[in-house]
Amino acid sequence: MPKLLRHIGYGFGDMSSSMFWKVFSYYLPFFYSNVFGLSLKDAGIILLVTRIWDAVSDPLMGIIADRTHTRWGKYRPYLLFVAPLFSVAGILLFTTPDWEYSAKLVWAYATYILMMTVYTGINVPYGAMLGVMTADSQEKTVYSSFRMFFAYGGSFLALFMWEPLCNALGGYDNPEGWRWAMVIIAAICFILFLCCFAMTKEELHTVSNVSVGSDLRALLTNKPWWLLIGAALCFNLFCTVRGATVAYYFADIIPAGATLHVGTYSFLFYAGLFLAVGEVSNMAGVALCVPMAAHYGKKTTFIAVNICLCVLSVLYFFIPVSQVGFWLMLAAQVLISMLTGVMSPLIWSMYADVSDFAEWKYRTASTGLIFSSSSMAQKFGGAIGGSSALWLLAACGYITGTAEQGVVQQPEMALLCLKSLMSFIPALVSLLAVLVVSFYPLTTSRMKQIDSELQVQRNE
């Protein structure tokens, strides 16, 4: 199969994952508190507590995948066999049973843990495939860029369609509207994973010749891995804090029926449009990743992008709520999203470098275990970001409201908290990411040396 089709096929995998992940990250907190009917405190605890299981399931899945051997490869078979469970779990997550509060809370825990477990079962092997589809570090960045380009394309479709789908299938304030919207998204995701399986191939056949204990000891002494985990956690925290706040921000700060005017035309300014514009901008940023990383190096690119994210986030706080302000919000969203678009493939490519470093230094083919940590960082960042946002809102007196309760007037402290969650708090996270990556040792020159020596080592 031509290389371009393999690039596209690999991209389909994260297109599917991201359609789910972005809906979870941006709308699930709002769904739990304003549609499903949970308190902010309980919703925040759910988002965080389930990550205790992820701390076990992600590395476990990586270990299992590393030791899988089939005629389709080590990681690729999981795309085929877990895809149906992936779709079903998503539908159950957005199903609201007509039960009393305590029973619904148990349902929320059960379905969310199920969804994250299945997500691990398909996404960890999918991510690890990047380490065995090519031996070339720059080619891995290309694969990673295709992955993220399609991921953001899928996110754009999911976010742009989500509110109109909910409204068309029962109502945005109706649990049935949310469930049927997820049925449609889940069907699309299932097809995309099947396409990913059919269009990809594992070129490298690595074998782990050491025990699980040796793999874990090697991982825990891998300095670049620790630093990249910290950096990835910060990045996912940045994205989730902003993303999880948007639905609340538009519900309580942007006036109902707000519009954008272009000549004689007017467009509704709503959360889905704001998020969808961000996804398109992410795609533009992905296209910039390969040339920027090739010219400046991955580490330098990472630091520069996060400094820019910090500055833009601070400026966002001062944008007024007005017609001009709406356009400035969109402009800021475009710039911030382009920068996060550069970051996403960059981090995945850096994980592939860490995997090569581990194989070179420790002589262990633990690609799945290393990439499982990326999934864990993604989910921990999402959990901490989502739960922290909810708890901060609760502490500031935010009043949740369902359709039956009608529109509520939020206290000034809650509104200030919403603005800070879109600006100053993400800015601080970006600064922390810069600090962490400043110690990252796998520069471009270092990776060239490792790649050269690794080729000899693999042929011994």
Q: How far is CA 275 from CA 54, 339, 343, in A?
A: 27, 15, 17
Instruction: Give the phi and the psi of residue 407 in degrees, each rounded to 5.
Output: -75, 135
Question: Residue type for 84, please?
Answer: P
| pLDDT at residue 400, rounded to an integer | 79
Q: How far apart are CA 137 and CA 444, in angstroms?
A: 10
Asked whether residue 1 is assigned to any structural domain, the reply reads: no
Structure-token match 């920027």, residue found: 292
Neighbours of 449 (CB within 10 A): 11
Q: Where are the beta strands (DSSP E) in 139-294?
A: 259-262, 265-268
Q: Are 61 and 372 in contact (CB under 8 A)?
A: yes
| pLDDT at residue 401, rounded to an integer | 63
Q: Is the predicted pLDDT of residue 82 greater than 90, yes or no?
A: yes
CATH number (domain holding residue 100): 1.20.1250.20
Percent of the chain at pLDDT above 70?
94
Percent of the chain at pLDDT above 90?
44
Asked whether residue 460 is assigned to any structural domain, the reply reads: no
Query: Which alpha helices (H) appear in 82-168, and where do they start and end?
Result: 83-93, 101-128, 137-168
Asked whether residue 192 is assigned to any structural domain, the reply reads: yes
DSSP 36: I
Asked whether residue 150 is assigned to any structural domain, the reply reads: yes
Reported as a single tens digit per residue, the pLDDT across 202-212 is 887 766 655 66
| pLDDT at residue 256, rounded to an integer | 82
Task: Tell me which residue of 89, 358, 63, 416 sits closest to 221, measured CA to CA.
Answer: 358
Asked whether residue 436 is assigned to any structural domain, the reply reads: yes
- Cα 41-44-45 angle, rounded to 5 deg: 85
Asked whether residue 112 is assigned to any structural domain, the reply reads: yes
Confidence of residue 383 (pLDDT cuts 50, 70, 90): confident
| pLDDT at residue 118, rounded to an integer | 94
Domain count along the chain = 1
Reported as a single tens digit per residue, the pLDDT across 21-64 is 888 878 888 899 889 999 988 988 887 787 677 767 888 888 88
Asked whether residue 2 is assigned to any structural domain, the reply reads: no
| pLDDT at residue 30, rounded to an integer | 87
| pLDDT at residue 211, rounded to an integer | 65
Reported as a single tens digit per residue, the pLDDT across 218-267 is 777 889 989 998 998 899 889 889 988 998 999 899 988 888 888 788 88
| pLDDT at residue 219, rounded to an integer | 76
Neighbours of 217 (CB within 10 A): 14
| pLDDT at residue 374, rounded to an integer | 67
Region 84-108: mean pLDDT is 95
Q: Is the predicted pLDDT of residue 169 greater than 90, yes or no?
A: yes
**pLDDT, mean over the chain:** 87
Look up the domain containing 300 and give its range. 7-454
| pLDDT at residue 85, rounded to an integer | 95
Confidence of residue 360 (pLDDT cuts 50, 70, 90): confident
Average the pLDDT over each of 234-238, 382-386, 434-438 and give the range with the smallest value: 382-386
- Extract the tokens encoding 460: 């011994």
Q: Is the predicted pLDDT of residue 88 greater than 90, yes or no?
A: yes
Q: How far apart are CA 460 and CA 448, in angstroms?
A: 19
Instruction: Give the phi and the psi of residue 266 in degrees, each rounded to 5.
Output: -130, 140
DSSP H or E segment with residue 259: strand 259-262
Residues 6+ apart with CB under 8 A from 3: none
| pLDDT at residue 403, rounded to an integer | 43
Asked whether residue 374 is assigned to any structural domain, the reply reads: yes
Global confidence as pTM: 0.73
